[in-house]
Structure 1
Amino acid sequence: MDDTELHRERILRHVSPIITGRFVGFQASYTREVRVGRALAIAVFVTAGIAQMIGSLMRMRPARRSLKDLRKGPEFLVTPVRLRDDLGQTYEIEMHGQLPQSALHRGDLVQVRTQPQADPTLPVKLMQVVNLTTMQPLTPRIPTRWSHLGPAMLLQAAAGLTIFGVVLAALLR
């Protein structure tokens, strides 16, 4: 091997739910989209549509979103995080969402709780990190499907479901 050749650091995938090591740093972040299930999107869309119809008859201005917009889902920030254990092995895990920039510094001793992702080719997902240097517990926050749908749409869907239930009960009498 030539001395001028670059040596790549070997990155390991950890299988244990708890990893303890030194914080090496954050890698370049990117966004990933969460898909909303077809059944959930259609159920919310249809029941909200019932409330929208009633609202339009009463000259109220309902919140309108297309089924395609509902299915698209929220985007969240993905940041690969690297840790090094006492044996010098480097591990990469994915952090979904954000943490304060000042929460972790290079060399801090951390303990992270992880969870495997649905796609086995992806690194484990960081669920919670405890900075053992400062004794600060941290949990990254990401947008959820419910926050993506929005309170107005969910209230309309609840109203539409109630109206549907009342009409169905009246018909079945």
Structure 2
Amino acid sequence: MDRELFPERVVHPRARIVTGRVSRLNPGYAREIKVGQPVLMAVLAAAGVAQMAALLVKSVLQAGTGRAGTRRRWKQLRKGPEFLVTPLRMRDGDGVLHEVEIHGHLPQSALEPADHIQVTVRRQKDGDLPPRVERIVNLTTGQLLTPRIPTVWSHLGPALVLQAILGLMLVGAVAACTLTR
């Protein structure tokens, strides 16, 4: 049969663990993580309090000779990080072709066509998308592969998160001082 005219049917696996052979790794593409506006506003507000306190201390200690650092804008923070999505097709022992998605980066030589693999998958929020791979055990090479994707917290960055924590501590300390009077 002609594969172009009659493509083989691809199914999304229903089981949590699927064992089979790598049929094809499709080219990857970028997908964006959404950042919730309430989370972003809370973090930026708390970080703003700490930044104002730091600017106040800096203006007292210095004559203002230093220049301000560049900060990412609201639009850049709201956009969210992008991560690599690589569709993977694998054929199980019964000859059924399954499609799953690998989110994040893997070493280039981690999976080769015809490798015997066992994948642990999780359904995505959008039911039309193939399940997302949580873990891959390459039974041919003996490798355990765990793709990692960026999170909202890694996107905001440790400096902004730390600044937000300091801002919350400052607001808490001021509130505690005013309540004890």
Range of TM-score over shorter length:
over 0.9
The answer to whether the 8 A contact 1:74-1:143 is kept is yes
Q: CA–CA distance in 2 between the matches of 1:165 and 1:8?
A: 62
Root mean square deviation of aligned Cα: 1.8
Structure 1 residue matching 2:127: 3-state secondary structure:
coil
Return the TM-score normalized by structure 2: 0.89
The answer on 1:18 being equivalent to 2:17 is yes
Matching residue's letter, 1:38 = Q
What is the number of residues matched between the two proteins?
172
Deviates more, 1:3-12 or 1:33-42: 3-12
2: CA distance between counterparts of 1:4 and 1:98?
30
Structure 1 residues 122 and 4: CA distance shift in structure 2, 3 A: closer
> Measured at CA, do residues 75 and 4 of structure 1 come closer, stay the same or move farther in structure 2, by a change above 3 Å?
closer
TM-score, normalised relative to structure 1? 0.93
Alignment-derived partner of residue 5 in structure 2: 6
Moved more, 52-61 or 86-95: 52-61
Q: Which residue of 2 aligns with 1:126?
A: 133
Following the alignment from structure 1 to structure 2, what is the Cα–Cα distance between the partners of residues 25 and 142?
A: 22
Q: Give the corresponding residue for 1:71.
A: 78
CA contact (8 A) 1:23 1:84 kept: yes
Identify if the C-alpha distance between structure 1 residues 109 and 166 changes in structure 2 by more than 3 Å, giving closer, same or farther.
Answer: same
Alignment match, 1:115: 122
Could you list the structure 1 runs, at least 4 aligned residues long, displaced by more than 3 angstroms after superposition. Answer: 2-5, 60-63
User: Counterpart of 1:59 in 2: which secondary structure?
Assistant: helix
Give the unaligned 5+ runs of structure 1.
none
* Residues 103, 46 of structure 1: alpha-carbon distance in 2 compared, 3 angstrom cutoff: same
Q: Give the corresponding residue for 1:137.
A: 144
Q: 1:52·1:62 contact (CA, 8 Å) conserved in 2?
A: no
The Cα of 1:12 is off from its aligned counterpart by: 0.5
Of residues 112-121 and 31-40 in structure 1, the stretch that sits farther from structure 2 once superposed is 31-40
| Contact map agreement 1:63 1:152 (CA 8 A) in 2 | no
User: Any conservation in 2 of the 1:32–1:78 contact (CA below 8 Å)?
Assistant: yes
Any unmatched runs of 5+ in structure 2?
60-67
> For residues 158 and 95 of structure 1, what CA distance do their matches in structure 2 show?
33
Partner residue of 1:34? Answer: 33
Q: Distance in 1 between matches of 2:17 and 2:70?
A: 44
1:42-78: per-residue Cα shift (whole Å, max 9, x none)?
1110000001111111227566333332221110000
Q: Distance in 1 between matches of 2:127 and 2:4?
A: 32
